[in-house]
Structure 1
Protein backbone atom coordinates (compact mmCIF):
# COMPACT_ATOMS: atom_id res chain seq x y z
CA UNK A 1 0.00 0.00 0.00
CA UNK A 2 1.30 3.46 -0.91
CA UNK A 3 0.25 6.84 0.48
CA UNK A 4 1.06 9.99 -1.45
CA UNK A 5 0.27 13.59 -0.41
CA UNK A 6 -1.55 15.71 -2.97
CA UNK A 7 1.00 18.50 -3.44
CA UNK A 8 0.36 22.08 -4.47
CA UNK A 9 -3.14 22.67 -3.16
CA UNK A 10 -3.75 26.40 -2.54
CA UNK A 11 -5.22 27.94 0.59
CA UNK A 12 -8.85 26.83 0.36
CA UNK A 13 -11.54 29.51 0.49
CA UNK A 14 -15.32 29.39 0.74
CA UNK A 15 -16.85 28.27 -2.55
CA UNK A 16 -13.67 26.67 -3.92
CA UNK A 17 -14.23 23.53 -5.98
CA UNK A 18 -12.22 21.12 -3.84
CA UNK A 19 -12.86 18.14 -6.11
CA UNK A 20 -11.55 20.02 -9.14
CA UNK A 21 -8.49 21.27 -7.27
CA UNK A 22 -7.60 17.70 -6.26
CA UNK A 23 -8.35 16.29 -9.70
CA UNK A 24 -6.01 18.81 -11.33
CA UNK A 25 -3.10 17.65 -9.19
CA UNK A 26 -3.35 13.87 -9.06
CA UNK A 27 -4.22 11.05 -11.44
CA UNK A 28 -6.74 9.07 -9.42
CA UNK A 29 -7.10 5.42 -10.41
CA UNK A 30 -9.73 2.77 -9.72
CA UNK A 31 -9.08 1.32 -6.27
CA UNK A 32 -7.56 4.51 -4.87
CA UNK A 33 -8.92 6.08 -1.68
CA UNK A 34 -8.74 9.83 -1.11
CA UNK A 35 -8.27 10.99 2.48
CA UNK A 36 -8.97 14.70 2.86
CA UNK A 37 -8.68 16.82 5.99
CA UNK A 38 -11.91 18.18 7.43
CA UNK A 39 -10.24 21.60 7.64
CA UNK A 40 -10.21 22.13 3.87
CA UNK A 41 -13.69 20.65 3.50
CA UNK A 42 -14.94 23.11 6.12
CA UNK A 43 -13.19 26.05 4.47
CA UNK A 44 -14.69 25.22 1.08
CA UNK A 45 -18.13 24.89 2.69
CA UNK A 46 -17.89 28.25 4.46
CA UNK A 47 -17.62 26.97 8.00
CA UNK A 48 -15.32 29.79 9.16
CA UNK A 49 -16.79 31.94 11.94
CA UNK A 50 -15.84 34.91 14.09
CA UNK A 51 -16.19 34.68 17.85
CA UNK A 52 -18.59 37.61 17.65
CA UNK A 53 -21.10 35.21 16.04
CA UNK A 54 -21.42 33.43 19.40
CA UNK A 55 -22.50 35.88 22.12
CA UNK A 56 -22.05 33.99 25.37
CA UNK A 57 -25.02 32.90 27.41
CA UNK A 58 -25.04 32.16 31.13
CA UNK A 59 -24.03 28.53 30.69
CA UNK A 60 -21.07 29.41 28.47
CA UNK A 61 -19.86 32.07 30.93
CA UNK A 62 -20.11 29.60 33.81
CA UNK A 63 -18.19 26.95 31.86
CA UNK A 64 -15.43 29.37 30.84
CA UNK A 65 -15.04 30.66 34.39
CA UNK A 66 -14.82 27.15 35.81
CA UNK A 67 -12.24 25.95 33.29
CA UNK A 68 -10.19 29.11 33.84
CA UNK A 69 -10.25 28.53 37.61
CA UNK A 70 -9.08 24.93 37.14
CA UNK A 71 -6.40 25.46 34.49
CA UNK A 72 -5.30 29.04 35.17
CA UNK A 73 -5.66 29.83 31.45
CA UNK A 74 -7.96 32.61 30.30
CA UNK A 75 -11.00 31.20 28.50
CA UNK A 76 -13.24 33.15 26.15
CA UNK A 77 -16.88 32.34 26.99
CA UNK A 78 -17.78 32.92 23.32
CA UNK A 79 -15.71 29.87 22.43
CA UNK A 80 -17.64 27.83 25.00
CA UNK A 81 -20.85 29.13 23.40
CA UNK A 82 -19.65 28.00 19.96
CA UNK A 83 -19.00 24.50 21.33
CA UNK A 84 -22.44 24.39 22.91
CA UNK A 85 -24.12 25.42 19.66
CA UNK A 86 -22.15 22.91 17.59
CA UNK A 87 -22.93 20.01 19.94
CA UNK A 88 -25.78 17.64 20.49
CA UNK A 89 -24.59 17.13 24.07
CA UNK A 90 -21.69 18.04 26.36
CA UNK A 91 -20.48 14.93 28.17
CA UNK A 92 -18.02 16.95 30.30
CA UNK A 93 -17.83 20.67 31.02
CA UNK A 94 -14.60 20.58 33.06
CA UNK A 95 -11.65 20.41 32.94
CA UNK A 96 -12.40 20.48 29.19
CA UNK A 97 -15.41 20.34 26.90
CA UNK A 98 -16.08 16.85 25.57
CA UNK A 99 -18.84 17.14 23.00
CA UNK A 100 -21.08 14.83 21.01
CA UNK A 101 -21.25 16.29 17.51
CA UNK A 102 -24.58 16.21 15.73
CA UNK A 103 -23.31 13.57 13.29
CA UNK A 104 -22.18 11.19 16.07
CA UNK A 105 -18.47 11.93 16.55
CA UNK A 106 -17.35 12.52 20.16
CA UNK A 107 -14.43 14.91 20.52
CA UNK A 108 -12.99 17.77 22.54
CA UNK A 109 -14.46 21.22 21.77
CA UNK A 110 -16.79 19.75 19.10
CA UNK A 111 -13.74 19.63 16.82
CA UNK A 112 -13.63 23.44 16.51
CA UNK A 113 -10.23 24.59 15.25
CA UNK A 114 -8.51 27.87 16.13
CA UNK A 115 -5.33 27.44 14.06
CA UNK A 116 -4.82 28.10 10.35
CA UNK A 117 -8.14 29.95 10.03
CA UNK A 118 -7.59 32.91 7.66
CA UNK A 119 -10.53 35.28 7.65
CA UNK A 120 -11.99 34.23 10.98
CA UNK A 121 -11.44 33.14 14.55
CA UNK A 122 -12.88 29.63 14.37
CA UNK A 123 -13.22 26.78 11.92
CA UNK A 124 -16.16 24.47 12.59
CA UNK A 125 -16.32 20.88 11.43
CA UNK A 126 -18.43 20.18 8.33
CA UNK A 127 -22.10 19.98 9.24
CA UNK A 128 -22.33 16.46 7.79
CA UNK A 129 -18.88 15.09 6.91
CA UNK A 130 -20.25 11.93 5.28
CA UNK A 131 -22.43 14.05 2.99
CA UNK A 132 -19.32 16.10 2.17
CA UNK A 133 -17.43 12.87 1.41
CA UNK A 134 -20.30 11.69 -0.78
CA UNK A 135 -20.15 14.84 -2.91
CA UNK A 136 -16.40 14.40 -3.44
CA UNK A 137 -16.88 10.69 -4.15
CA UNK A 138 -19.50 11.45 -6.80
CA UNK A 139 -17.16 13.89 -8.55
CA UNK A 140 -13.90 11.92 -8.26
CA UNK A 141 -15.27 8.36 -8.49
CA UNK A 142 -13.05 6.99 -5.70
CA UNK A 143 -13.87 6.32 -2.04
CA UNK A 144 -13.34 9.38 0.14
CA UNK A 145 -12.54 9.60 3.86
CA UNK A 146 -12.86 12.97 5.62
CA UNK A 147 -10.33 13.05 8.46
CA UNK A 148 -9.64 14.99 11.63
CA UNK A 149 -7.09 14.70 14.43
CA UNK A 150 -8.35 13.59 17.80
CA UNK A 151 -6.96 12.66 21.19
CA UNK A 152 -7.49 9.27 22.78
CA UNK A 153 -8.40 8.21 26.31
CA UNK A 154 -5.48 6.71 28.23
CA UNK A 155 -2.84 7.94 25.75
CA UNK A 156 -0.90 11.12 25.05
CA UNK A 157 -0.99 12.73 21.64
CA UNK A 158 -3.43 12.87 18.76
CA UNK A 159 -3.96 10.73 15.68
CA UNK A 160 -6.01 10.87 12.53
CA UNK A 161 -9.59 9.60 12.65
CA UNK A 162 -12.43 9.44 10.15
CA UNK A 163 -15.33 11.81 10.69
CA UNK A 164 -17.02 11.08 7.35
CA UNK A 165 -16.71 8.62 4.49
CA UNK A 166 -18.34 7.57 1.22
CA UNK A 167 -17.77 4.93 -1.42
CA UNK A 168 -16.64 2.25 1.02
CA UNK A 169 -17.85 0.74 4.31
CA UNK A 170 -16.54 2.21 7.55
CA UNK A 171 -15.45 -1.15 8.90
CA UNK A 172 -14.88 -4.74 7.90
CA UNK A 173 -16.39 -7.49 9.97
CA UNK A 174 -14.22 -10.48 10.86
CA UNK A 175 -16.84 -12.13 13.07
CA UNK A 176 -17.51 -15.68 11.98
CA UNK A 177 -14.07 -16.01 10.42
CA UNK A 178 -11.28 -17.96 12.10
CA UNK A 179 -7.85 -17.28 13.54
CA UNK A 180 -4.76 -19.38 12.73
CA UNK A 181 -5.74 -21.90 15.39
CA UNK A 182 -9.20 -22.37 13.96
CA UNK A 183 -11.00 -20.41 16.67
CA UNK A 184 -13.99 -18.46 15.46
CA UNK A 185 -13.71 -14.69 15.87
CA UNK A 186 -16.62 -13.32 17.87
CA UNK A 187 -16.01 -9.60 18.37
CA UNK A 188 -13.46 -8.33 15.83
CA UNK A 189 -14.76 -5.46 13.70
CA UNK A 190 -11.94 -3.45 12.11
CA UNK A 191 -12.47 0.29 11.66
CA UNK A 192 -10.75 0.63 8.30
CA UNK A 193 -11.70 4.28 7.73
CA UNK A 194 -10.02 5.22 11.02
CA UNK A 195 -6.94 3.19 10.11
CA UNK A 196 -6.72 4.82 6.68
CA UNK A 197 -7.15 8.24 8.31
CA UNK A 198 -4.34 7.50 10.76
CA UNK A 199 -2.04 6.27 8.00
CA UNK A 200 -2.82 9.34 5.88
CA UNK A 201 -2.07 11.61 8.82
CA UNK A 202 1.46 10.22 9.00
CA UNK A 203 2.29 11.52 5.53
CA UNK A 204 0.02 14.59 5.56
CA UNK A 205 1.95 16.23 8.39
CA UNK A 206 0.86 18.90 10.84
CA UNK A 207 1.28 22.65 11.34
CA UNK A 208 2.25 25.01 8.56
CA UNK A 209 3.81 22.19 6.52
CA UNK A 210 0.73 20.02 6.46
CA UNK A 211 -0.81 18.67 3.27
CA UNK A 212 -4.61 18.37 3.48
CA UNK A 213 -5.18 15.49 1.03
CA UNK A 214 -3.55 12.09 0.63
CA UNK A 215 -4.11 9.37 -1.95
CA UNK A 216 -4.03 5.78 -0.68
CA UNK A 217 -3.14 3.31 -3.43
CA UNK A 218 -3.15 -0.46 -3.08
CA UNK A 219 -5.61 -0.81 -0.18
CA UNK A 220 -7.86 -3.85 -0.55
CA UNK A 221 -11.00 -4.21 1.58
CA UNK A 222 -10.98 -7.97 1.04
CA UNK A 223 -13.79 -10.48 1.06
CA UNK A 224 -15.46 -9.37 4.28
CA UNK A 225 -18.83 -8.09 5.33
CA UNK A 226 -18.86 -4.30 5.65
CA UNK A 227 -20.63 -1.96 8.03
CA UNK A 228 -21.13 1.79 8.39
CA UNK A 229 -21.54 1.56 12.17
CA UNK A 230 -18.56 3.66 13.21
CA UNK A 231 -20.05 5.75 16.02
CA UNK A 232 -21.53 3.80 18.91
CA UNK A 233 -25.27 4.06 19.37
CA UNK A 234 -26.22 5.96 22.51
CA UNK A 235 -28.05 3.01 24.03
CA UNK A 236 -24.99 0.71 24.01
CA UNK A 237 -22.30 3.29 24.80
CA UNK A 238 -21.47 2.59 28.44
CA UNK A 239 -18.64 5.14 28.52
CA UNK A 240 -20.98 7.94 27.45
CA UNK A 241 -23.46 6.85 30.09
CA UNK A 242 -20.76 6.86 32.78
CA UNK A 243 -19.55 10.34 31.81
CA UNK A 244 -23.05 11.72 32.21
CA UNK A 245 -22.90 10.78 35.88
CA UNK A 246 -19.31 12.00 36.40
CA UNK A 247 -18.32 15.41 37.76
CA UNK A 248 -14.79 16.79 37.82
CA UNK A 249 -13.53 17.57 41.31
CA UNK A 250 -10.21 19.33 41.61
Structure 2
Protein backbone atom coordinates (compact mmCIF):
# COMPACT_ATOMS: atom_id res chain seq x y z
CA UNK A 1 0.00 0.00 0.00
CA UNK A 2 1.29 3.46 -0.87
CA UNK A 3 0.26 6.75 0.73
CA UNK A 4 1.24 9.86 -1.21
CA UNK A 5 0.56 13.50 -0.23
CA UNK A 6 -1.13 15.73 -2.79
CA UNK A 7 1.49 18.42 -3.30
CA UNK A 8 0.99 22.00 -4.41
CA UNK A 9 -2.47 22.78 -3.10
CA UNK A 10 -2.94 26.53 -2.53
CA UNK A 11 -4.41 28.15 0.56
CA UNK A 12 -8.07 27.20 0.34
CA UNK A 13 -10.68 29.97 0.49
CA UNK A 14 -14.45 29.98 0.81
CA UNK A 15 -16.10 28.95 -2.44
CA UNK A 16 -13.02 27.23 -3.91
CA UNK A 17 -13.70 24.09 -5.94
CA UNK A 18 -11.72 21.72 -3.72
CA UNK A 19 -12.41 18.70 -5.92
CA UNK A 20 -11.07 20.48 -9.01
CA UNK A 21 -7.98 21.72 -7.16
CA UNK A 22 -7.18 18.19 -6.00
CA UNK A 23 -7.94 16.67 -9.40
CA UNK A 24 -5.44 19.04 -11.04
CA UNK A 25 -2.65 17.83 -8.74
CA UNK A 26 -3.39 14.16 -8.05
CA UNK A 27 -3.40 11.29 -10.52
CA UNK A 28 -6.32 9.28 -9.19
CA UNK A 29 -6.84 5.68 -10.26
CA UNK A 30 -9.67 3.19 -9.67
CA UNK A 31 -9.21 1.67 -6.24
CA UNK A 32 -7.53 4.73 -4.77
CA UNK A 33 -8.85 6.32 -1.57
CA UNK A 34 -8.54 10.08 -1.11
CA UNK A 35 -8.05 11.36 2.44
CA UNK A 36 -8.72 15.09 2.89
CA UNK A 37 -8.16 17.14 6.03
CA UNK A 38 -11.33 18.63 7.47
CA UNK A 39 -9.56 22.00 7.66
CA UNK A 40 -9.56 22.54 3.91
CA UNK A 41 -13.08 21.18 3.56
CA UNK A 42 -14.22 23.67 6.19
CA UNK A 43 -12.39 26.56 4.53
CA UNK A 44 -13.98 25.80 1.16
CA UNK A 45 -17.40 25.57 2.81
CA UNK A 46 -17.07 28.90 4.60
CA UNK A 47 -16.73 27.59 8.13
CA UNK A 48 -14.35 30.38 9.19
CA UNK A 49 -15.74 32.71 11.84
CA UNK A 50 -14.73 35.57 14.12
CA UNK A 51 -15.12 35.67 17.88
CA UNK A 52 -17.67 38.42 17.32
CA UNK A 53 -19.98 35.82 15.73
CA UNK A 54 -20.34 34.12 19.12
CA UNK A 55 -21.37 36.60 21.82
CA UNK A 56 -20.89 34.76 25.09
CA UNK A 57 -23.86 33.69 27.17
CA UNK A 58 -23.92 32.99 30.89
CA UNK A 59 -22.92 29.34 30.55
CA UNK A 60 -19.98 30.15 28.28
CA UNK A 61 -18.70 32.80 30.68
CA UNK A 62 -18.93 30.36 33.60
CA UNK A 63 -17.02 27.68 31.66
CA UNK A 64 -14.32 30.15 30.62
CA UNK A 65 -13.93 31.46 34.16
CA UNK A 66 -13.55 27.95 35.55
CA UNK A 67 -11.02 26.91 32.91
CA UNK A 68 -9.05 30.09 33.54
CA UNK A 69 -8.96 29.35 37.26
CA UNK A 70 -7.77 25.77 36.62
CA UNK A 71 -5.14 26.52 33.99
CA UNK A 72 -4.01 29.99 35.00
CA UNK A 73 -4.39 31.04 31.36
CA UNK A 74 -6.79 33.62 29.96
CA UNK A 75 -9.84 32.03 28.30
CA UNK A 76 -12.12 33.83 25.89
CA UNK A 77 -15.77 33.03 26.74
CA UNK A 78 -16.69 33.52 23.08
CA UNK A 79 -14.65 30.41 22.26
CA UNK A 80 -16.67 28.48 24.83
CA UNK A 81 -19.83 29.85 23.23
CA UNK A 82 -18.74 28.60 19.82
CA UNK A 83 -18.13 25.14 21.29
CA UNK A 84 -21.57 25.16 22.91
CA UNK A 85 -23.27 26.09 19.63
CA UNK A 86 -21.35 23.45 17.67
CA UNK A 87 -22.24 20.71 20.15
CA UNK A 88 -25.12 18.37 20.83
CA UNK A 89 -23.82 17.95 24.38
CA UNK A 90 -20.88 18.93 26.56
CA UNK A 91 -19.87 15.74 28.36
CA UNK A 92 -17.02 17.39 30.29
CA UNK A 93 -16.59 21.11 31.01
CA UNK A 94 -13.38 20.94 33.08
CA UNK A 95 -10.40 20.63 32.99
CA UNK A 96 -11.17 20.88 29.25
CA UNK A 97 -14.31 20.82 27.13
CA UNK A 98 -15.24 17.42 25.70
CA UNK A 99 -18.12 17.79 23.26
CA UNK A 100 -20.43 15.67 21.14
CA UNK A 101 -20.74 17.33 17.74
CA UNK A 102 -24.05 17.51 15.94
CA UNK A 103 -22.93 14.69 13.62
CA UNK A 104 -21.86 12.36 16.45
CA UNK A 105 -18.09 12.79 16.74
CA UNK A 106 -16.84 13.21 20.31
CA UNK A 107 -13.78 15.43 20.62
CA UNK A 108 -12.18 18.25 22.57
CA UNK A 109 -13.65 21.71 21.87
CA UNK A 110 -16.02 20.27 19.23
CA UNK A 111 -13.02 20.13 16.90
CA UNK A 112 -12.83 23.93 16.59
CA UNK A 113 -9.40 25.04 15.38
CA UNK A 114 -7.61 28.30 16.13
CA UNK A 115 -4.45 27.67 14.09
CA UNK A 116 -3.94 28.25 10.37
CA UNK A 117 -7.15 30.28 10.06
CA UNK A 118 -6.44 33.16 7.64
CA UNK A 119 -9.17 35.79 7.68
CA UNK A 120 -10.80 34.70 10.93
CA UNK A 121 -10.41 33.63 14.52
CA UNK A 122 -12.02 30.17 14.43
CA UNK A 123 -12.33 27.29 12.00
CA UNK A 124 -15.28 24.99 12.68
CA UNK A 125 -15.57 21.41 11.49
CA UNK A 126 -17.77 20.85 8.41
CA UNK A 127 -21.45 20.80 9.34
CA UNK A 128 -21.83 17.30 7.87
CA UNK A 129 -18.44 15.79 6.99
CA UNK A 130 -19.94 12.69 5.37
CA UNK A 131 -22.03 14.89 3.06
CA UNK A 132 -18.84 16.80 2.25
CA UNK A 133 -17.09 13.50 1.51
CA UNK A 134 -19.98 12.43 -0.70
CA UNK A 135 -19.67 15.57 -2.83
CA UNK A 136 -15.94 14.98 -3.32
CA UNK A 137 -16.60 11.30 -4.03
CA UNK A 138 -19.13 12.16 -6.72
CA UNK A 139 -16.78 14.68 -8.33
CA UNK A 140 -13.63 12.55 -8.24
CA UNK A 141 -15.10 9.02 -8.49
CA UNK A 142 -12.93 7.56 -5.71
CA UNK A 143 -13.77 6.84 -2.07
CA UNK A 144 -13.13 9.83 0.18
CA UNK A 145 -12.32 10.06 3.89
CA UNK A 146 -12.50 13.45 5.63
CA UNK A 147 -9.96 13.43 8.45
CA UNK A 148 -9.17 15.33 11.62
CA UNK A 149 -6.57 14.94 14.36
CA UNK A 150 -7.88 13.88 17.73
CA UNK A 151 -6.56 12.88 21.12
CA UNK A 152 -7.23 9.41 22.49
CA UNK A 153 -8.26 8.13 25.91
CA UNK A 154 -5.51 6.32 27.82
CA UNK A 155 -2.73 7.49 25.48
CA UNK A 156 -0.63 10.60 24.90
CA UNK A 157 -0.57 12.27 21.50
CA UNK A 158 -2.98 12.84 18.68
CA UNK A 159 -3.70 10.74 15.61
CA UNK A 160 -5.68 11.08 12.42
CA UNK A 161 -9.28 9.93 12.61
CA UNK A 162 -12.18 9.92 10.18
CA UNK A 163 -15.00 12.38 10.72
CA UNK A 164 -16.73 11.72 7.39
CA UNK A 165 -16.52 9.22 4.56
CA UNK A 166 -18.16 8.22 1.28
CA UNK A 167 -17.70 5.45 -1.26
CA UNK A 168 -16.30 3.05 1.34
CA UNK A 169 -17.80 1.42 4.45
CA UNK A 170 -16.56 2.80 7.75
CA UNK A 171 -15.58 -0.64 9.01
CA UNK A 172 -15.11 -4.21 7.93
CA UNK A 173 -16.57 -6.97 10.01
CA UNK A 174 -14.49 -10.05 10.76
CA UNK A 175 -17.07 -11.67 12.99
CA UNK A 176 -17.99 -15.16 11.82
CA UNK A 177 -14.68 -15.60 10.00
CA UNK A 178 -11.93 -17.81 11.41
CA UNK A 179 -8.43 -17.13 12.69
CA UNK A 180 -5.36 -19.18 11.72
CA UNK A 181 -6.31 -21.82 14.27
CA UNK A 182 -9.81 -22.19 12.87
CA UNK A 183 -11.49 -20.41 15.79
CA UNK A 184 -14.46 -18.27 14.93
CA UNK A 185 -13.90 -14.55 15.51
CA UNK A 186 -16.61 -13.06 17.69
CA UNK A 187 -15.73 -9.43 18.35
CA UNK A 188 -13.41 -7.92 15.73
CA UNK A 189 -14.87 -5.04 13.72
CA UNK A 190 -12.05 -3.05 12.11
CA UNK A 191 -12.45 0.73 11.77
CA UNK A 192 -11.08 1.01 8.25
CA UNK A 193 -11.70 4.72 7.75
CA UNK A 194 -9.88 5.60 10.97
CA UNK A 195 -6.91 3.47 9.94
CA UNK A 196 -6.78 5.11 6.52
CA UNK A 197 -6.99 8.53 8.18
CA UNK A 198 -4.11 7.60 10.48
CA UNK A 199 -2.00 6.38 7.57
CA UNK A 200 -2.68 9.59 5.66
CA UNK A 201 -1.78 11.72 8.66
CA UNK A 202 1.70 10.17 8.73
CA UNK A 203 2.51 11.77 5.36
CA UNK A 204 0.36 14.91 5.41
CA UNK A 205 1.98 16.19 8.60
CA UNK A 206 1.03 19.03 10.93
CA UNK A 207 1.79 22.72 11.41
CA UNK A 208 3.01 25.10 8.72
CA UNK A 209 4.51 22.29 6.63
CA UNK A 210 1.34 20.25 6.49
CA UNK A 211 -0.29 18.97 3.30
CA UNK A 212 -4.10 18.70 3.48
CA UNK A 213 -4.70 15.68 1.26
CA UNK A 214 -3.21 12.27 0.50
CA UNK A 215 -3.94 9.42 -1.88
CA UNK A 216 -3.93 5.85 -0.57
CA UNK A 217 -3.19 3.33 -3.31
CA UNK A 218 -3.26 -0.44 -3.01
CA UNK A 219 -5.69 -0.75 -0.11
CA UNK A 220 -8.13 -3.62 -0.56
CA UNK A 221 -11.27 -3.88 1.55
CA UNK A 222 -11.52 -7.59 0.79
CA UNK A 223 -14.49 -9.92 0.88
CA UNK A 224 -15.92 -8.83 4.22
CA UNK A 225 -19.17 -7.44 5.46
CA UNK A 226 -19.08 -3.66 5.76
CA UNK A 227 -20.78 -1.24 8.11
CA UNK A 228 -21.14 2.52 8.39
CA UNK A 229 -21.30 2.41 12.17
CA UNK A 230 -18.39 4.45 13.52
CA UNK A 231 -19.66 6.70 16.30
CA UNK A 232 -21.04 4.72 19.21
CA UNK A 233 -24.70 5.27 19.93
CA UNK A 234 -25.53 6.92 23.22
CA UNK A 235 -27.26 3.75 24.42
CA UNK A 236 -24.16 1.54 24.25
CA UNK A 237 -21.45 4.11 25.06
CA UNK A 238 -20.52 3.24 28.64
CA UNK A 239 -17.59 5.69 28.68
CA UNK A 240 -19.87 8.61 27.85
CA UNK A 241 -22.28 7.50 30.54
CA UNK A 242 -19.48 7.30 33.12
CA UNK A 243 -18.10 10.73 32.20
CA UNK A 244 -21.51 12.30 32.72
CA UNK A 245 -21.33 11.20 36.34
CA UNK A 246 -17.73 12.36 36.83
CA UNK A 247 -16.86 15.77 38.24
CA UNK A 248 -13.39 17.34 38.03
CA UNK A 249 -11.99 18.34 41.39
CA UNK A 250 -9.20 20.83 41.29
TM-score, normalization: structure 2? 1.00
Is 2:115 the counterpart of 1:137? no
1:244, distance to aligned residue in structure 2 (A): 0.9
Q: Secondary structure at the match of 1:70?
A: helix
Q: How does 1:1-250 map to 2 (within 5 A)?
A: 1-250=1-250
Provide Cα deviations, 1:55-99, integer angstroms capped at 9, x if missing partner.
000000000000111111110000000000000000000000000
Give, in angstroms, the shift of residue 208 of structure 1.
Answer: 0.4
Cα deviations across residues 206-239 of structure 1 (Å, max 9, x unaligned)? 1000000000000000000000000001101011
In structure 2, the residue corresponding to 1:24 is in which secondary structure? helix
1:160-184 deviation line (CA, Å, top 9, x unaligned): 0000000000000000011111111
Q: CA deviation at 1:26?
A: 1.2
Aligned equivalents of 2:216, 2:180: Cα separation in 1: 29
Query: Using the alignment, how far apart are the partners of 1:244 and 1:159 within structure 2?
Result: 25
Q: Which residues of structure 1 form unaligned runs of 5+?
A: none
Q: Give structure 2 stretches of 5+ with no counterpart.
A: none
1:27: how far off? Answer: 1.3
Partners of 2:36 and 2:20 lie apart in 1 by: 13
Describe the SS at the equivalent of 1:81: helix
SS of residue paired to 1:10: coil
Between the aligned partners of 2:115 and 2:78, the Cα distance in structure 1 is: 16
Whole-angstrom distance in 2 between the partners of 1:146 and 1:32: 14
Aligned length: 250
Distance 1:134 1:6 in 2: 19
Q: What TM-score does the superposition give when structure 1 sets the normalisation length? A: 1.00
